[in-house]
Structure 1
Amino acid sequence: MQPAGIILAGGQARRMGGGDKPLLRLGDRPIIDNVIERLQPQVSRLAISANGDPSRYAHYGLPVIEDDEQLGPLAGVLAGMEWAIQQENPASHLITVSGDTPFLPLDLVLRLELASEGENDRIVLATSGGRRHPTVCRWPVSMRLALKEWLTTSETYQVLGFIHRHDFALADFHGSDGDDPFFNINTPEDLERARDREKQMQLKQQSLSERH
């Protein structure tokens, strides 16, 4: 069975001047449209982890799950795990991605699964360009109780702090032409670079279509 998926759309976007980063415009649509379009076909079901008024994401027709934003991304991971096991056909694994990563690989889930080498209780963490991306992960839902305890008793809520206490593997990804497939948007300058990259991708697709 395919894993379930959660888009982590929390965070206060302080370096962007506040607001919801996933709803910033990239081309003619919000960033999160790209994220949904790329991840949804790879998972059995998809939800958004976000705080505040859920109606701002209502038109996507996806469940919007609230978490304790003071606990960081791991709170969204835990909320996703709890949501996944409550479904009619509970998923054994959860894929998490950030809501500000518009260029996710179309084979993300497959490669995360392959990197697990058949170990169901193994976390798989995506890497690219020598960097680890702690919010792009394959999580065994079975570790939700361990994660809940960690968030209750730990002095740090860092994602890697939790991952490093458990069995985990790395799945390395390489973008085309040196582009990072997990490029995320943290600053206005990042947003401009993402818009340029989106334009180049559209031009390339248009060129390929014209050839055929």
Structure 2
Amino acid sequence: MIQPHGLILAGGRATRMGGGDKGRLVVAGTPLIARVIARLGPQVDALALNANDDPARWADLGLPVLPDTIPDRPGPLAGVLAGLDWAAAQGCPHIVTAAADTPFLPPDLVPRLLAAAGPSGLALAATQEDDRIWPQPTFGLWPTALRDDLRTALGDGIRKILHWTDRHEAGLAIFPTDPINPFFNVNTPEDLAAAEAMT
């Protein structure tokens, strides 16, 4: 199977952190975005960043910067669509996404998502606590064949990832949360302090 391209989702407004680019926040001396690149990059054939506004602020990363193609920042599904269009133009049949504020993402994210793909080729990461399964919808395997369906859904007002992925019977790749939740993300100053304590 052709290895997927990777897409780091960094298109949000970071309002709970007071704005700015959360990926630039530093944990144990290393920016969050650098931690995500180090973990996701070796698992994919190519890597890009979904971000809005001036792309020059990310120039030091040496990655393609893909802005949303849907206006008004409708959320991560718009970033997924930008990544799918990018991958399709390069002949890659799928992408794997990860959020820019998750410093502990799994080093085996991609192979486990590929193994969990549902009938449409979609898969999402998830965690399990007790008997409850918690999807982690910004971490997924997305086939480029569904990009026009996603474009239509966004045009129809769909914003929640699970509202769209449920239509296509996404598989789930379940990851352990011990000793830490690999999808822990930094939304607040308290989260940043917690991430520092976990490194």
Which residue in 2 is equivalent to 1:160?
Answer: 162
Q: Does 1:125 align with 2:124?
A: yes
Aligned amino acid, residue 142 of structure 2 = W
Aligned to 2:109: 108
Please tell me the root mean square deviation across aligned C-alpha atoms, in Å: 1.2
AA matched with 2:77: L
Higher helix share: 1
* AA in 2 matched with 1:53: D
Indicate the residue corresponding to 1:201 in structure 2.
none
Q: For the residues of structure 2 that align with 1:116 and 1:49, how far apart are their CA atoms?
A: 23
SS of 2:123's partner is: strand
Q: Secondary structure at the match of 2:184?
A: coil
Aligned to 1:210: none
- 1:52 to partner: Cα distance: 1.0
Q: Which runs of 4+ in 1 moved over 3 A?
A: none
- Describe the SS at the equivalent of 2:167: coil
CA displacement at 1:42 relative to structure 2: 0.4
Corresponding residue pairs, total: 192
Query: Where do residues 36-185 of structure 1 align in structure 2 (5 Å cutoff)?
Result: 36-67=37-68, 68=70, 70-87=73-90, 90-116=91-117, 119=119, 121-129=120-128, 130-154=133-157, 156-177=158-179, 179-185=180-186
Give 1:167 deviation, angstroms.
Answer: 2.1
Q: Is the partner of 1:165 in helix, strand or coil?
A: helix
- Share of identical aligned residues, percent? 47
Letter in 2 for 1:19: G
- Read off the aligned partner of 1:78 and give its amino acid letter: L
Give secondary structure in 2 for the equivalent of 1:94: strand
Query: What letter matches 2:46 in structure 1?
Result: R
| Structure 2 unaligned spans of 5+ | none
User: Could you tell me how far 1:25 is from its partner in structure 2?
Assistant: 1.0
The residue number in structure 2 matching 1:192 is 193
Find the aligned partners of 1:42 and 1:52 in 2 and give their Cα distance: 28
Superposition deviation, residue 144 in structure 1 = 0.3
Name stretches of at least 5 consecutive residues in structure 1 with no aligned partner. Answer: 199-212
Quote the Cα distance in structure 2 between the aligned partners of 1:131 and 1:147.
Answer: 23
**Number of the residue aligned with 1:21:** 22
How many Å apart are 1:29 and its aligned residue?
Answer: 2.1
Amino acid at match of 2:184: F
Structure-2 residue corresponding to 1:4: 5
* Aligned-partner SS, 1:135: strand
Kindly state the Cα deviation for residue 126 of structure 1 after the two structures are TM-superposed.
0.4
Q: CA deviation at 1:57?
A: 1.1
